[in-house]
Amino acid sequence: MPASAARRPAAVPVTIAACAALALALRAYQLSRPGYLLGVTEYDDGVLFGNALRLVSGVIPYRDFAMVQPPGSALLIAPVALLAKVTGTAWGLAVARILTVCADTANVVLLGVLVRHRGPVTVGVACGFYAVYPDALVAAHTFLLEPWLNLCCLAAAVLIFDGDRLATADTCRLALGGAAFGFAVAVKIWALVPLAVAGLVVVAGTRRIRPALTLAGGAAAGLGVVLAPFAVLAPGGLARGVLVGQLVRNASGGRDLTGRLADLTGLASLPARFPWPLLLAAIGAGITGLYAAAYLAAGRRPAALDAYALLAAVAVTGMLLWPRLYYPHYGDFDAPFLALAVALPAGLLSGALLTRGPLAASRAAGAVLAAVVAVAVAAAGVSQFRAESRLAGTQVAAVADRLIPPGACVVTNDSAYTVAAGRFDSDVAGCPAMTDSFGTLFAMTSGHPRDASAAVLAPVVALWQATLQHAAYVWLIGDTAGQIPWTRQLDSYFLSHFRLIGFAGSPQGWRFVPGPGLYVRR
């Protein structure tokens, strides 16, 4: 057996391990930055972890408080929320952040496992792409949904595909893959898109309906097990929060397609005056040419895995371009599909070229190609390391310890602050359970804006009136006008019953809106 053939199997696991080590190093370094482990860096992680904290305390989402995500994330992190009963919420969130880093590193490994049969070049491109992808690093810095969503979808793909082909001969694998997709939908409904693409590929690849039904049945089971208890306890709240809330919240904001494409391609760090349309057109033409050259050189048609990667990349990218509301960590959901869509034809083309010509020349070309991929990934990693070196979160625990007694009833428009300060849970009976002020406004008004009619906002105003009546402390962060429907009556009650004691800032919005700060009941 030739020496190159003997070395090739070892090259694949070594490549996966190297890329996973790079991914872990970048994500762990990011988490080591000041305030990133125990401080405040995000709004959403306070809401997501707060939902789990409420759930393990016996407070039911959708019934007792508004929640605009499916319940999968709360169930997923519930063991850590139970641990927080012992460690405190700040360290509970820190553990959730560490586990998210591990989950996102596992995504690199799953990508490698999915394409390992294509050789080290394909593995290096796919795993290296995800390891240094900017939006993946943004999403992995705390407990956000996208790393866990990718983990479920990649696990599903590993089960559904056997090399390049569909594993339709193994009904159990297909059903388990569907179940993994179903749980992914229970984490975030975006997973419906790659699930639909997988179903389409199964139907087209087998020309039979039974494998597709097996996949769909597994998905229904994976989703149904998670949703069933909440659908029984709070069917209306579940529908309003997950379906209506998600649809209407994506109707706000501005749609900057060029900037969003720059973010999704990982090139947003280039200068603002860079000719983006020209560059993006060149990227599209380059990927198209890569696919054409790869399959012409290999003399074969795209396999089922190739079709899934390309269709899923196009579908997920289109899904992320369509809504008006967009945040950089959303782009992490596109990362595994973009990585596959680039790596599979690149590896195929390199394999076709390296097998032609003398053995010595092929070995030399393979070594050069591997070195180019390694240098590109390493250069991107260094760039990310430099960007992370400037990061810093907000430390709040020390000041909160001085101003807020443990167990006090604290109401806030940003749960990340009370979670990081260890003041999320209260010993006071009847303390309000709200975790997401934005989501509460969306769910209770079916997505109407904050300047809607008084009749539409009346239920939210009444909720905040009752919330303030129970609060001993009110912690307002930033501009609250988009979260709390301040009326003259609500504003008057707040100013007459609370006084500012710390974290003072300039008032935001119209003159009746109380400014950011920590307030105590008079």
For 186-202, what is each residue's pLDDT tens digit?
Answer: 999 999 999 999 999 99
CB 113 within 8 A of CB 160: no
pLDDT at 155: 98
Q: Pull the structure tokens for residue 165.
A: 């082909």
Q: Round to whole Å and give the CA distance between 64 and 53.
A: 13
φ, ψ at 166 (rounded to 5°): -75, 140
Residue with tokens 């594993």: 167
Of 484, 495, 494, which is closest to residue 457 (Cα–Cα)? 484
> Which residues is 411 bridged to in the sheet?
474
- Which residues 6+ apart lie within 8 Å of 460 measured at CB? 440, 441, 444, 445, 485
pLDDT of residue 324: 78
Q: What is the pLDDT of residues 209-257, one digit of tens each?
A: 999 999 999 999 999 999 999 999 999 889 888 887 666 665 555 667 7
Regions of the chain with pLDDT less than 50: 1-7, 504-512
Question: Is 330 within 8 Å of 259 (Cβ atoms)?
Answer: no
Please give the pLDDT value at position 503: 66
> Global pTM?
0.91
Could you tell me where the DSSP H helices lie in 389-483?
397-403, 415-420, 437-445, 454-470
Residue whose structure tokens are 């706000």 = 252
Nearest residue to 48 (alpha-carbon basis) of 108, 101, 105, 89: 89
Q: Residue length, the chain? A: 522
- Per DSSP bridges, beta strands 410-412 and 161-162 are unpaired
Q: In 3D, which of 146, 124, 123, 143 has the Cα closest to residue 134?
A: 146
What number of other Cβ atoms are within 10 A of residue 210's Cβ? 12
Q: How far is CA 100 from CA 93, 103, 206, 270, in A?
A: 10, 5, 36, 28
Whether residue 237 contacts residue 63, with contact meaning beta carbons closer than 8 Å, is answered with yes
Residue 40 is given by DSSP the state: B
Q: What is the pLDDT of residue 513?
A: 61
